Amino acid sequence: MKSLWMVAASLLFASMGVCVKLASEALPASEIAFYRAFISLLLIAVIMRLSGAQFATPHALTHLKRGVSGAISLILYFQAIALLPLPTAVTLNYTSPLFMAAWLGFTVSGELSRPIALALALGFAGVVLVLQPTLGSEQWVGGLCGLSSGLIATMAYLSVRDLGRLGEPEWRTVLYFSLCSSVFGAAWALIDGGFHLPDLRTCALLLGVGVFGAAAQLCMTAAYKGGRTLVSASLAYTTVAFSTLYGVLLWNDVPSAAVWLGMVLIVASGVLAMLNPPPAKL
């Protein structure tokens, strides 16, 4: 089942999140996003060159839509990771299946079904519980970044689905996403105070961000291309489990009872949404 590629992508994304969290101690999120995208761009370009793959594409506009939405979502996600505990940031980012289900519900059937409406209510309650325990401004800024990244990622994921249906190979999809993210990340970093010279430890972490990110993108693209969109999106929730495990092992960051409940509600709401898709093949 090709949707299972998403489980591999989830483990890789969680590993990338660990590197982002550690690198954020020395660099701003915009700069980390640039390095993540630029390293991936170089890796993918070299592999494509050696394998003789074609760089040109007849679907430039779809790639641009996927690249721009993905780049903005990526930077917001990294900002959330920098401000919040890793499991919390990941959980908020993975509200994207909820937004996707709501969007598909409106566009396919013209209205939300009762299960989707219930899923959205559960998801909202979960978000409140995840953010409620600490009401500091930094928590809410990080929370808004995480939710915004999830919302904007919906457009990126739907574009990945469209590119798969158009027959675009995974390598080329990831290449153009990395190119757009490099441009946006560099521009954001320059506006945010310019680039900094990283030390050796930070360089190693940035390399991990780029390698894990590129591998995760390839697995995710394969999942959305070969599997069903909503099934792949629901399996993305395994990133929450992997990230929580990392948080406990590396930072002894055990979520409180309220946060655990909120995370469970968000995951349950996503699963409910995935089990009740709109009446059309996705």
pTM: 0.83
- Domain assignment of residue 223, yes or no: yes
| Under 8 Å between Cβ of 229 and 281 | no
pLDDT digits (tens, 9 = 90+) for 217-256: 788 878 877 666 667 766 777 888 899 899 989 998 888 8
Query: Is residue 260 a part of any domain in this protein?
Result: yes
Q: Name the residue range of residue 201's domain.
A: 2-275
Distance CA 123, CA 268 (A): 8
Burial of 241-264, coded b for 16+ CB within 10 Å and e otherwise, reads bbbbebbeeeeeeebeeebeebbe
Interatomic CA distance for residues 117 and 113, integer angstroms: 6
Report the b/e string of 71-99 with b at 16+ CB within 10 A.
bbbbbbbbbbbbbbbbbbbbbbbbbbbbb
> Does residue 282 fall inside a structural domain?
no
**Cα gap 146→92, rounded to integer Å:** 5
- Tens digits of pLDDT across the chain (282 residues): 666 788 899 899 999 999 999 999 999 999 999 999 999 899 889 989 999 989 999 999 999 999 999 999 999 999 999 998 898 888 888 787 778 777 776 666 556 677 777 877 788 788 777 766 554 556 788 889 999 998 998 888 788 888 988 988 888 988 999 999 999 899 989 988 889 999 999 999 999 999 998 889 788 878 877 666 667 766 777 888 899 899 989 998 888 888 888 888 888 887 777 677 655 444
CA angle 145, 148, 152 (to 5 degrees): 135
3-state secondary structure of 52: coil
Question: Which residue's structure tokens are 């992508």?
Answer: 9
Kindly state whether residue 216 falls inside one of the protein's structural domains: yes
245: in domain: yes
The gap from C-alpha 156 to its chain's centroid, in whole angstroms, comes to 9
Task: Give me the pLDDT at residue 3, please.
Answer: 67
Other residues' Cβ atoms within 10 Å of the Cβ of residue 22: 17
5 vs 78, 93, 155, 225, CA distance in Å? 23, 19, 20, 10
Count of domains for the chain = 1
Residue 280 in any domain: the answer is no
80 closest CA partner among 129, 30, 134, 39 = 30
Say how far apart CA 189 and CA 229 lie, in whole Å.
33
